[in-house]
Structure 1
Amino acid sequence: MPAVVSLALGGALLSASSASAAPGELVVTSPTAGQTTPTRDVTFSGTAVAGSTIIIHEDSQDGAVIARTNVPNSGAWSVDHEYAADAPVQQTAFVDGIVGLSGFDEPKTVAFNLPAAPAQLTVTSPTEGQYLASRTVTVSGTGIPTANIALVPSAGSPVTGILVDAAGNWTGNVTFPDDVDRAQSITVNQIVGAAGRGSVTVNVNLPATQTLVVETPQNGATTATRTVTFSGTGTAGSRVSLTGNFPFVQATVGDDGKWSVDVTFADDAATAQSVRLTQVTGGVGTGDVTVAFSLPAVETTPTTPVLDEPVITAPKDGATVTGPNVTFEGTGTPGSNILLVAVPTDELDEPAARAAEPADPEDPIVVGADGTWSVTLAVEPGDYTAVAQGFLLDADGEPVVDADGAPVVSDPSDPVEFTVTAAVAPIGTTPAAGQGGAGTAPVATTPTGQLAFTGADLAPAGIAAGLLALIGTAIMVVMARRRAHSA
């Protein structure tokens, strides 16, 4: 009996030793060394001892097990493993297993390549933080071909069933409700089979929901005054804010849906204006309108120029000058014209002498930049009283008038009395008729004997009457001063 037991144990030991040294029957036919697989769903196949188990590891025997299968009676085995989209292109698989009570004596290592990773999930539109023109948003991007895309807005209903096409592109639309705030987000989920393959969230800014209508002023209009009435319609109870070249202004939309507010623009505000109007309803923007219009020009009251009272500096008061030519000099407002009136002194008290008519004018009597003026005239012998008055002419030679249409004139100068004596004629000569002496020029006088020199051309314009009135005024002033002096 002991001998039989011993023999039995020995047979068992011999059998175990033979199993631990299994023959090299493991063969890997796919993938082959250096191959690039058609897809990332890789089929591992080969042959081995029937009933054995095939185990496939990543990289080495110590790597993670990625696939396992039993070898059928035919000895041909096959097993699939799908590599993740982000798995490296270069891969190594270590293939071993269990045959009998031990492993294969010749495990296999196969190095191969996966195809390039398919497009990962991206969102190309809208961009992060973008201000959108509509609350219906077109969302587009790239992903894994045949994958499903789901759009999940932060407010509103999700949109599913969007397929990534063969080129890796996808697009879809999502709509936000009108009553939500402008700051929102869209989450994009990618699904392959039943597994999620990426998720991207994009923050966006929605446009204001437009219930605000601006009726006045209208775009491109010119307002009647610089106090502008802004009015229109909106959501009852909302606040309408105005931002422009003026202090901050708000209006409240009434229960009838109408609003109105007046804004006064400063006189120095530009005529071209642009005002932004925004409406807020319960903390949510519900309107944003910009109106461009023009203000009327500021009406300014013309300033009536003030002329200095002229002064006659020559002839001097009480002087005697030798004719026939007398040079009158004086001062006045630079750029103004001078109306010079010389009246025979003995005619000042005669009422008929007041209606003077000017003589034919010579060159204009204009006050120079230094404030002086001068004119030389032929005057008959006699006693004269002269007075000067300043007035203005415009670029067309017309008198400048004030707001009432009256010529702008200065006060008359103080009167100057002087005497003109005839020049002594050489022996043997006789003065010509109508001259003050030999060689003198004709004397320009009014029908009453007065001399009126404006230095301005009165003939072509209807201004003679106004300037003649000035002459009459000057004469009356001279008379009044003369009487006061005599008293």
Structure 2
Amino acid sequence: MRSLVRPLILAASALVGAALLAGPSSIAEAAEDTLTVDSPTEGEVLASRTVTFAGAGTDGAVVNVLDPDGTRLEGTTAVVVADDRWSITVTFPAAAATRQTVTVRQVTGGSGAGEETVSFMLPDPDPAQLTVATPSPGEELLARTVTFSGTGETGSTITVLGPDGAPVPGSNPTTVTDGTWTVIATYPEDAARAQTATVDQATAEGVHSQAVVTFQLPIVLLPAPVITSPPTGATLAGETFTITGTGQPGTVVVVFASPRVPSDVIDDTQGPQDPVTVDGSGRWTSDVQLTPGSYRIVVGVAELDQAGRFVQVISEPSLPVLITVQTSASSAGNPPAYDTPHLADTGDSLSTLLPVGGLCVLLGVALTLLLSGSAHPRAIHTSRGR
């Protein structure tokens, strides 16, 4: 008997030693199947960058959510499983990639007790609100060099696009700095007055947001037409007079006759005369009716509305022609001339006296002020084009 006891004791000791050596891992293996990840599910496309990881585990065990490199996911802490459930919530920053893979690990008694890996998709980050401060919607600009500016997400790229989807002429993409951006573009003279631009913001993650703005470019003033008769300094008798000149074929011209007499004898303004069209040979003719007095005659190219009514002057003014009108009965005498200084006498061009486009707003009133210094132009007339 004694010879059998010793081998049995040695065998039992070996089994106990093996059990002691493997004890903790065997316990962990027994608990490994208790860890589950219920959310997010594998491959799920999430609607928010705030993600709740949740599942089942072993009461008292500790659960961590780990990065692919094995470190705890930034913004999370370890949680203890209670009533067989665990939950961890984290908000991924805007810079985080949309495709994510994490590992959920359960630890019991200092040893691993279960591990699950899950992949999912985050939504694109919401970019900072894109705004356009200039130009304002519908603004009528004074120059064809346009400054686009506004606010956006710092570090994003701003591109101003035309209706064709290409960058507007003369512009370059810019980077939002301290929440603001500026892009300068120069439109060519043949670009349409009415413009629509799309401001595109692209974040570092490739997220795009857009804002649309419409505005009006100024008119490019056309060359001035020319008055060929009567000559400047002429004294005319009668009531109806023919004004002739040259211009670009097909354009429409209007004649302004501004009295050069004391303001207390000037009738209320009757505006520019009826428009006439320059014929194919580049000539135009207009008949005007004038009462006795001294006049400064100026011609400009006109824009008309769909009904053929005068809208605005779209050219430089012609050189002025100074005339004196007298009745037939007094033609032998010397009619009075009130030749006070006027802007037109200085030789200044319209562009040096008014901002570009100023005439367009005032429907010719600015022309009248340029010609006579008076707010009361007078032109009583008929007109005809030849």
TM-score for the superposition, normalised by structure 1: 0.36
Bigger share in helix:
2
* Bigger RCO of structures 1 and 2 (CA < 8 A, at least 6 apart): 2
- The structure with more radius of gyration: 1
